[in-house]
Amino acid sequence: MNPSKSQDTANESEFTVIKQAAMQIELAADPDQAIYNILSICSRQMGLNRGRVFLKEANSDWLFAAYSYGLTPLEIERSRFHLKEGITGKVMATGQAAVVPDIDLEEDYLFRTVDRAALPQEPVAFFALPLIRKQKTVGVLTFNRLKNRQRSYDRDLAFLKIMATFISEILAVHQLIEQQTQHLKHENEQLRQVALGQGSQYGIIGESLALTQALDKAARAAATPVTVMLKGESGTGKEKFSRMVHRASHRKDGPFIAINCAAIPKDLIEAELFGYEKGSFTGAHQQKKGKFELANKGTLFLDEIGDLDLDLQSKLLRVLEEKSVTRLGGVEPVALDVRIIVASHKDLQQAVNDGRFRLDLFYRLNVFPIDLPPLRERHGDVRILARHFLDLTNQDYHSNVVLARETLGYFEQYDWPGNIRQLENVIKRAVLMANEHGIVSVATIQNILNDERGITHDTDMTKGQAPTPLMQSQLTPPVQDFQQHTTDTLTRSYWKVNQEDADMLQAALKQARGNKTRAAKLLNMTPRQLSYRLEKLGI
């Protein structure tokens, strides 16, 4: 071949190799792969063998082969040089490239990595180039090649300088990615801790993204006087969040007053909310402050706001607009300084569309909505909550019950229509029904859930349709007064008394050694409710 033609071909193939090597910079996120590819290209296409990239070990004066091509694991392990040792050490110290034309004639060549016998018998050359970043030597790139080849040392050196630049670039980009990832991880962890800390401080347990987002919003709302609307299915923690907003706000030393608009008979709720003057209606024997007045300088939580009838809705709107309340039968308005938090498991927008909720009131209340996720969307939280409720129940019952591993798995795939309240209730019941070894099996949980099949969980928030009221027990004792009524309604939500509950009542009695007051406490009901149920069930 004529010499200039062969030179052209060599240039062309070198250019192709450089292009291939340059493309590896795109892989900088995976430096193992990117640098391995470059060292492999150098060996296979340029005859530059046993490529190694030496970097400094953290907090030591030793260099090690962080990346290599064509070396055995043992050779890689032996590739360690002190900063003052050999040619590699010199290049690291001086930042100058070194070419050893014949390693057998070079005193500083240590033969540490590869035995001489393992190399070709003919003379072998060695190249060592500094890897430079911001004028600092950060590592050394080394190769062997046969001494007697057509390509000049200068030409190989020039080519390797380009490779060293690519490798330095890859290391730098990788370091940047690592730093940024670490920074983001750190930031994420801090945010997670803040959100978790916010929650656990207020007894709100869980780590899921959906919950953390809700916690973050609640924390923001707490810092302002804004009206908050908590939206979520029954048992998702609306009351718990309302307490958090109050306690995290500057009103925390003021009163927190909660009222469940659905639990109070229609004809009594107005007096409950706004108060009344003595003699204003039959039975009003003395003046009474309403919830608004009681919540002055604090927070008023109006739960199930969607259950207020239209007439009361307009009265409520007036109070909110005028920031004052006039007791029933009174004339003097009382000025109010109250943060309002409302909650509804109903879709209030739908209620507005259906003409069941006033649009102007909706706008006044829906200033800062916070969606509370149902348990089925809080991935990972079911396990944490289950363990949390188990600990609490074990403490309360002085027991040491554990959940079988499969039980936790079963919990995770269950839909939890009654959300956290249902999970809490199921755990309490499960502790009472654990086997003689104190283990709760999946079968026990299935029995408990089967018992509950008659309960209609009101999930209007997700379905956007008219709610079906929670099934009330046929055996509900007569209501004594508002307070009792409210508490009873909350406790009763998951109590559907039927023959199947007999087992549980008996288990509680056994655990309480026949003491009904203690058994009632274990079951989260009043002694009167327990006696009533025992009587009806003929126990």
Ligand X SMILES: Nc1ncnc2c1ncn2[C@@H]1O[C@H](COP(=O)(O)OP(=O)(O)OP(=O)(O)O)[C@@H](O)[C@H]1O
Sheet holding 228-231, edge to edge: 256-260, 299-303, 339-344, 228-231, 368-371
The strand pairing partners of 303, in sequence order, are 260
**Interface characters, 381-400, with ligand X (x: CB under 6 A):** ----x---------------
The three-class DSSP label of residue 334 is strand
303 sits in which H/E element = strand 299-303
Distance (Å, whole) CA 243 – CA 105? 82
The nearer residue to ligand X, 232 or 290, going by C-beta atoms, is 232
Q: Which one, 309 or 391, has the nearer CB to ligand X?
A: 391
For β-strands 439-440 and 339-344, DSSP reports them as: unpaired
Q: Which residues fall within 8 angstroms of residue 54, CB to CB, at 6 or more apart? A: 63, 64, 65, 66, 79, 81, 88, 92, 139, 140, 141, 142
Q: Does 421 bind ligand X (CB under 6 A)?
A: yes
- Quote the least distance from Cβ 239 to ligand X, whole Å: 3
Q: Which stretch binds ligand X (CB under 6 A): 106-114, 418-426, 446-454, 471-479?
A: 418-426
Binding mask 226-265 for ligand X (x = CB under 6 A): ------x-xxxxxxx-------------------------
Question: Least separation, in Å, of the C-beta of 264 and ligand X?
Answer: 14
Site string for ligand X, 339-368 (x = CB under 6 A): ------x-----------------------
Give the Cα separation of 387 and 385 in Å (integer): 5
**Distance (Å, rounded) from C-alpha 367 to C-alpha 437?**
52
Shortest distance, position 365 Cβ to ligand X, whole Å? 16
DSSP letter (8 states) at residue 328: B
Smallest gap from Cβ 344 to ligand X, in A, equals 8
Q: Is 305 a residue that touches ligand X (CB under 6 A)?
A: no
Residues 176-235 close enough to bind ligand X by CB under 6 A: 203-206, 232, 234-235
User: Which lies closer to ligand X via its Cβ, residue 288 or residue 421?
Assistant: 421
Residue nearest to ligand X (CB): 237
Question: At its nearest, how many Å lie between ligand X and the CB of residue 275?
Answer: 24
Shortest approach of ligand X to residue 254 CB, angstroms? 20
Is 488 a binder of ligand X (CB under 6 A)?
no
Q: Which is nearer to ligand X, 24 or 486 (CB)?
A: 486
Residue type, 169: E
For 40, 55, 426, 490, 500, the CA distances from 495, given in Å and listed in that order, are 72, 69, 11, 10, 11
Q: Shortest distance, CB of residue 460 to ligand X, whole angstroms? A: 10
- Supply the minimum distance, in Å, between the C-beta of residue 378 and ligand X: 8
DSSP class of residue 118 equals G
Backbone dihedral angles phi then psi of residue 410, each to the nearest 5 degrees: -65, -40
**Nearest to ligand X of 202, 292 (CB atom):** 202
Look at strands 124-133 and 98-100 and give their pairing: antiparallel
**Of 490, 488, 472, 491, whose CA–CA distance to 480 is shortest?**
488
The size of the interface with ligand X (CB under 6 A), counted in residues, is 18
In the complex, the residues that contact ligand X under the rule CB under 6 A are 203-206, 232, 234-240, 303, 345, 385, 420-421, 424
